[in-house]
């Protein structure tokens, strides 16, 4: 890791920091990832969900916009394109399937925004970018799963749409620590700032 950090030093180690108007985005924290026996189950996601609870609480207390994503497909799966062909387990995520619902620990309230997506990025084919812009958001606090898929894709697109992407590392997870850490390293190097949850919460407290 030291060699890797030295290799990136002075080239891919900048920080963008926080802006003035944040939003909290909770990506795909659905029952499929926290339910034992589900093919998508990951114990690390269970932990990340628990870590996100106090972050959500402070966001609500500060009246910061809270947005969620979840994946849903038509029952013919034609809206899933190549993605569901590559990852057939996604075909479990259809309307009425309990595994496709947002976890109860982070249940949305009426003032929240729920965005349905079919692909990895929270931005691809969704109204997320114009919604954030209309709310005056400049900083996107990105939580959810999985780090190597939907989090990374959303971080890249978030940066490309002009948002400051902040990832509290305790609040994202993957199926294995290796891909999780590798993708957090890449996000922090090129697309946003990966930092401790405590630092993010301190920022929110000052708003």
Catalytic center residues: 150
* CA contacts within 13 A on the Cβ side of 100: 17
Furthest CA-CA distance within the chain: 50
CB 67 within 8 Å of CB 29: no
Residues of 16-33 as b/e, b for ≥16 C-beta within 10 angstroms?
A: eebeeebbbbbbbbbbbb
Q: Which helix (H) or strand (E) holds 200?
A: helix 197-205
CB 170 within 8 Å of CB 49: no
Q: Which helix (H) or strand (E) holds 166?
A: strand 164-168
Q: Is the dihedral of CA 47, 73, 118, 39 positive or negative?
A: positive
Two tokens, residue 157? 């697109």
CB 27 within 8 Å of CB 67: no
């Amino acid at each position: 890791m030291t060699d890797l950090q030295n290799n990136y030093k002075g080239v891919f180690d900048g920080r963008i920091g926080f802006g003035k108007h944040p939003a909290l985005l909770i990506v795909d924290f659905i029952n499929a990832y926290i339910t034992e026996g589900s093919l998508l189950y990951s114990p690390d996601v269970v932990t990340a969900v628990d870590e996100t609870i106090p972050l959500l609480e402070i966001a609500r207390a500060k009246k910061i916009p809270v947005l969620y994503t979840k994946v849903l497909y038509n029952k013919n799966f034609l809206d899933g394109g190549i993605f569901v062909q590559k990852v057939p387990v996604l075909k479990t995520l259809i309307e009425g399937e309990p595994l496709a619902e947002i976890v109860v620990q982070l249940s949305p309230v009426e003032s929240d925004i729920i965005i349905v997506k079919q692909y990895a990025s929270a931005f691809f084919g969704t109204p997320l970018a114009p919604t954030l812009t209309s709310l005056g958001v400049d900083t996107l606090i990105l939580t959810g799963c999985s780090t190597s898929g939907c989090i990374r894709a959303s971080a890249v697109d978030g940066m490309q749409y002009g948002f400051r992407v902040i990832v509290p590392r305790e609040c994202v997870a993957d199926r294995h620590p290796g891909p999780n850490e590798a993708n957090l390293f890449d996000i922090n190097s090129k697309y946003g700032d990966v930092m401790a949850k405590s630092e993010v919460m301190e920022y929110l407290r000052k708003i």
